[in-house]
Amino acid sequence: MKDIYTLPLHGLVNVLGFWIEGFLVSYLLVNFFPTRSGKKVSYWELTAVSVGIAALLLSVDLIVQEPFSARAYMLTLILLPMLYACYRCQGGFLMKLLISFLFMLLNVLLESMFVIVQYFGMGELAALLFRRILCKPLLWLLVHFLLLNVSRSRFRISNAYWVALAVICASEYLILFPVVANSNHSLLFRLLFIGACLFIPLSFYYTITRLMTVMEENRVYLSQNRQLELSQQYLTQVENLSESIRQFRHDYKAHLFCMDALLSQGKYEELHQYLLKLHQISPQDLNVAQYTLNGPLNVVLNQKAGDAQRIGVPLKINVVCPERSPIQDIDLVTLVTNLLDNALEAASAAPEPMAALDIRPEKAYLRIEVVNATAGDALKENPALVTTKADREAHGLGLKIVRNLVERYEGMYQVSGDSGSFRTVVLLSLE
């Protein structure tokens, strides 16, 4: 390729192609792997790194003799970004090497596909510009849809996915260029062959992501149903306890009269047995706050207030529920439980813990607002609100359940926050 540098415009196009490749592969790696500092890498840093990569790619292109120039270029495009990712990002060495290798294959595969443009009567400069520059937006789309979108999924992606995608691209590269460059094949055949090479990795991507989406939806559905069953069992038990408490309160005068009669008659053993039966109800069970007339919701609010007290988070509760509502009690309880669980967990790690729940009708909606203190800016550090716990498959379903309930009741879901607080607002239709 050294002959192209004798023509200034040709050399400029090639160098610009190096810079774009360096920028895209750096962008891919720092977004695919979490950074060691936890902060997002700035575009200024990516620009500087890509300039360095472009300079080294240019040096390799000028120094290494043919026929090893292309191999040296591909090896450099793999190793330099991979070394930068090892310095800047978390994650395993082999996985970084695989992603860098996969990017290089996609880039070379795409450029090889666009060799076909020279058969449409384009000049040498136009064909070079198209192959080195104008096809890069398509490479950017491939980086996003085939790589980044899959890596950002909540569902754990097996390394086998990336290995399989790399094998597909490598296989296509080995057979594509000989077919495209072979003038014995018709132009239509070569165009169809290029289309097939694009279709195969895209269809592989669609199949894998669709399978993961269905599995995730099923997991959320099963988890939600299990949570509903447990909530229903819990509410039934607490309602039975509340009924026992109400009956005890109603009958305590009669109990006092009986005990006084037994005492006056000297029947101490019978009095003792009578007291043992009364002791089956613990005194602390009688302290049930009345937040709302909605029995199931009131029970859950008392439970969450107790949880907040145990972990040292002041919890303010203000509830005004409409007398008639199409929202089922079990759905309302599930939604409030998930929101408060997340709020209390986040608030417990804040320097000044605090949480608040406000439920009230607002026009044609039931407005549920939860505010809690945080140890940092949750939206800035984790915009997708993906669980940070090690076992991602066992946690992080709460927000998905909330979104499903919001969708069921034709409502709205909104989050906001800053460096010290986080706010969730849910609107559920009352019509």
| Token pair 């996003």 in the structure block, residue | 144
CATH class name, domain 289-431: alpha beta
Query: Which whole-number Å values give the CA distances from 266 to 211, 259, 269, 362, in the listed order?
Result: 76, 11, 9, 63
How far apart (Å, rounded) are the C-alpha atoms in residues 336 and 343? 10
- The pLDDT tens digits for 150-162 are 666 555 566 777 7
Instruction: List the chain domain ranges.
Output: 2-184, 209-286, 289-431
Do 306 and 335 contact (CB within 8 A), yes or no?
no
What's the DSSP call for residue 320? Answer: -
Do 298 and 339 contact (CB within 8 A), yes or no?
no
Q: What is the mean pLDDT of the chain?
A: 77
Burial class (CB in 10 A: 0-12, 13-18, 19+), 276: exposed
How far apart (Å, rounded) are the C-alpha atoms in residues 60 and 69? 7
User: Which of 83-87, 212-216, 232-236 has the lowest average pLDDT?
Assistant: 232-236
Angle (CA) 240 233 283, round 5° = 40
Burial class (CB in 10 A: 0-12, 13-18, 19+), 325: middle
- The pLDDT tens digits for 268-293 are 777 777 777 766 644 444 456 788 88
Do 224 and 334 contact (CB within 8 A), yes or no?
yes
Query: Which whole-number Å values give the CA distances from 336 to 171, 250, 355, 404, 429, in the listed order?
Result: 52, 32, 13, 13, 16
- The pLDDT tens digits for 301-334 are 888 888 888 899 999 999 988 878 888 887 888 8
Q: Which residues contact 418 (CB under 8 A, 6 or more apart)?
A: 377
Query: Treating both helix axes as pointing N-terminal to C-terminal, what angle do 8-32 and 69-88 enclose, rounded to 10 degrees?
Result: 40
User: Which of 239-243, 299-303, 343-347 has the lowest average pLDDT?
Assistant: 239-243
